[in-house]
Structure 1
């Protein structure tokens, strides 16, 4: 069933979100603090049975200089430098096996698949820890460190994402002018933040992006992860205003209004995890050239494989794989 507003209303929907006046200053200072640490990229070959791709274990210094792990996959025997995609995964998951997620490298890109810190237990293995503790929170990640903008979990994650673009550009095999950011669900929200924090990325792909229009999402979403916010605020009854003040620095609508890279979005109108209006709130605020695929009878999977086919076609003239 449809989970949100009718499509005609979604196309003109404007989020009530308003960015705090010091949104840009906060993120400038956060990235400047991270820049005090050398990016410290290490690349180690990984033996696999793959015959057409080479795989490497990559680490780089993220927020606080903490080591972030990633897979680098590149087409074998294809001369570089190559266009690159920096890929972020879904909520609670991890980068998984070196043998998974082979589409982008198979299509001619250098693919840097980032392992989101502190996650990796639900669907695919992760190896990146989060050494920063937090105060009381609802189970999951959405309220971790939510007492302040400085301690909030996604401050570290979004900084890791911006640093991931820097790490990709430091690789000899990558053309620094042809780096895109991509992801689905949580990964789409992280990619959207990265596109704003690193404004000269070449392209963005966000499939059913999470972490957008957070106040609305907390009120209408009936499934996790957004229900974590409701669960937290059901007990922290007097912290509603403070909580959403903190979240205003991390809302995808705020990042969308600052990002200018050519962007490809997608959403399923039967998505009961990420309400479609929250994606439209970000999409309609997006500053750059943009396209949105809407799948009327799909849920959180959005267009699935068709989305991949479509975004590969979108990226080809922008990033020119094979040239």
Structure 2
């Protein structure tokens, strides 16, 4: 174990909690109407024709054929991203990959998956899906329409993921019910919210996911997007009423698909108690695994070793489907 002991932060990114305490954190109770709120949005997203458009990319890779991709999400929002198709073998499964709050400038060409078509969407307002007046800056993006659960941008990003699954299925109809999801940080929180209500996603992999246990998320010091919401909350104390509908830990109690969860013990950007609230919300079954990192959003001794083990687990998890 190599949890960092030296760091530049004015707070303790372990929040004084060891592994055993983190594994005991329970998710918060769902607000009244939580399921109805998301089920209505899911039905709406399913009704969207994504009309995916794929064009050859300038990128060249020996393993993958790389394509630029666009599709239409809810409210007619144009989503940009990439599609990877293996150069050899048969496409037998699909994978949607979400990004962190820093966005994505290129697809990950090092994914340890085989026989898989991989879609990399950029969630609305970010990177290839940037669109004024939405700010791509995480500190402002996370506040976009936060005063209204119906209009909050995080809900639109969840819908972008649901429509990404529809787009991949439209391109490869044989992949129906054979599509997985992998998301990190921001993309991890979006993934938990999406997978709670989308049974088309057959398995999920969430790395240091955010948006878990919003009551804690609003109180624990951080350098991440939660900091902007904490500042906003000082003059808008009712913000929690919106955020309770966007709690990834609450949503995770409803996930039925096999999961590979990857929380961290130390993380200055996404508080570990919030990450573990998501991981702990999942059913304890042989199909779910928690792989714990020493740190997230921070370089640490032994990281290369843990990354190698994690990489191997990703391949085994998705290639076995």
Q: TM-score, normalised by structure 2?
A: 0.86
Gaps of 5+ in 2: 6-12
Deviations 1:33-89 (A, max 9, x none): 334432212222224332331111222221212111120001113223x21110000
CA distance in 1, matches of 2:83, 2:37: 31
Select between 285-294 and 175-184 the one with higher mean Cα deviation.
285-294
User: Structure 1 residues 89 and 133, CA, compared in 2 at 3 Å: closer, same or farther?
Assistant: closer
Aligned to 1:114: 121
Deviations 1:259-309 (A, max 9, x none): 11100011221212111111111111114642111133x233584343222
Deviations 1:134-154 (A, max 9, x none): 9xx994222221111011110
Is residue 111 of structure 2 the alignment partner of residue 104 of structure 1? yes
Aligned to 1:286: 282
CA distance in 2, matches of 1:138, 1:269: 23
Aligned to 1:13: 25
How many angstroms does 1:129 deviate by?
2.9
Deviations 1:179-226 (A, max 9, x none): 001011111111222211212311100010011112202211321221
How many angstroms does 1:255 deviate by?
1.2
Contact 2:102/2:138 (CA < 8 Å) preserved in 1?
A: no
Q: How does 1:1-323 map to 2 (within 5 A)?
A: 1=5, 3-4=14-15, 5-15=17-27, 17-80=28-91, 82-94=92-104, 96-97=105-106, 100-104=107-111, 107-119=114-126, 126-130=127-131, 139-172=139-172, 175-234=175-234, 236=235, 239-240=236-237, 242-287=238-283, 289-296=287-294, 298-300=295-297, 303-317=306-320, 319=321
CA distance in 1, matches of 2:101, 2:221: 15
SS at match of 2:231: helix
Q: TM-score, normalised by structure 1?
A: 0.85
User: Structure 1 residues 70 and 173, CA, compared in 2 at 3 Å: closer, same or farther?
Assistant: farther
Q: How many residues align?
A: 300
Aligned to 1:123: none
Gaps of 5+ in 1: 120-125
